[in-house]
Amino acid sequence: DQQVKQNSPSLSVQEGRISILNCDYTNSMFDYFLWYKKYPAEGPTFLISISSIKDKNEDGRFTVFLNKSAKHLSLHIVPSQPGDSAVYFCAASAVDSNYQLIWGAGTKLIIKP
Amino acid sequence: DAGITQSPRHKVTETGTPVTLRCHQTENHRYMYWYRQDPGHGLRLIHYSYGVKDTDKGEVSDGYSVSRSKTEDFLLTLESATSSQTSVYFCAISGSGPYGYTFGSGTRLTVV
């Protein structure tokens, strides 16, 4: 049973437009959420995170929104740039699971020129 | 990232042979993790360590063992490799909690 789900395996967006990547979770005990970005032949790198006490966190072009009632979070990238083409993983953790990260399957974002 | 290295980067091995993958860190982080990445599954935790000689199983630990005799090294061993263990393996380190996982560049393992 996947506790963290990214239902879109891929997403194609025009350069300069907004990219919205979605993530759903089932475990109400999750209290910390992270987004990682992965290029081919490299390991994932941390992008942005959000605590469950917040509903929004911004870092430059990247904003993560958390809707706890819907158990849903989203990553917004504005404006999208060619270098944003990568696989994006959503991950979640809970204090009662010793903070181990539970990962979604990833969404491949393709930015079109 | 220079603080964590995995070796080898690529390996092809035959079914039934033992294989050891190495993860080495220079950050003196307490936590070390081994994941495998497969299409449609994201990253799945194999084993993790919270200190020297302190290890525990993750969600997909069958067929794998680990050892951590020094803070800086975390070894993943496939006792008898099977084709289902063909995957990309990532090591990660963390100083504490879920924050700031740093990943290695991965090892692509093919079992033929």
Instruction: Give residue-wise pLDDT tens across range A21-60.
Output: 999 999 999 999 999 999 998 999 999 999 999 999 999 9
State the pLDDT at residue B2. Answer: 61
- Angle among Cα B7, B11, B16 to the nearest 5 degrees reads 115
pLDDT, tens only, B63-81? 999 999 999 999 999 999 9
Nearest chain A residue to B42 by CA: give it. Answer: A105
User: Pick from A98, A101, A105: which is nearest to B101 by CB?
Assistant: A101
pLDDT, tens only, B9-18? 999 999 999 9
What residues of chain A lie within 8 A of the CB of B101, using their CB? 34, 36, 44, 46, 101
Q: How confident is the model at residue B40 (pLDDT cuts 50, 70, 90)?
A: confident
A1 touches B: beta carbon within 8 Å: no
Contact partners, residue A21, CB within 8 Å, separation at least 6? A6, A8, A11, A35, A74, A75, A77, A88, A90, A107, A109
Q: What are φ and ψ of residue A97, in 5° steps? A: -110, 25
A46 touches B: beta carbon within 8 Å: yes
What residues of chain B lie within 8 A of the CB of A100, using their CB? 45, 48, 58, 98
The token duo for B9 is 């980067």
Residue B39 has pLDDT above 70, yes or no: yes
What residues of chain A lie within 8 A of the CB of B50, using their CB? 98
A49 touches B: beta carbon within 8 Å: yes
Residue B84 has pLDDT above 80, yes or no: yes
- How far apart, in whole angstroms, are the C-alpha atoms of residue A100 and residue A74? 21
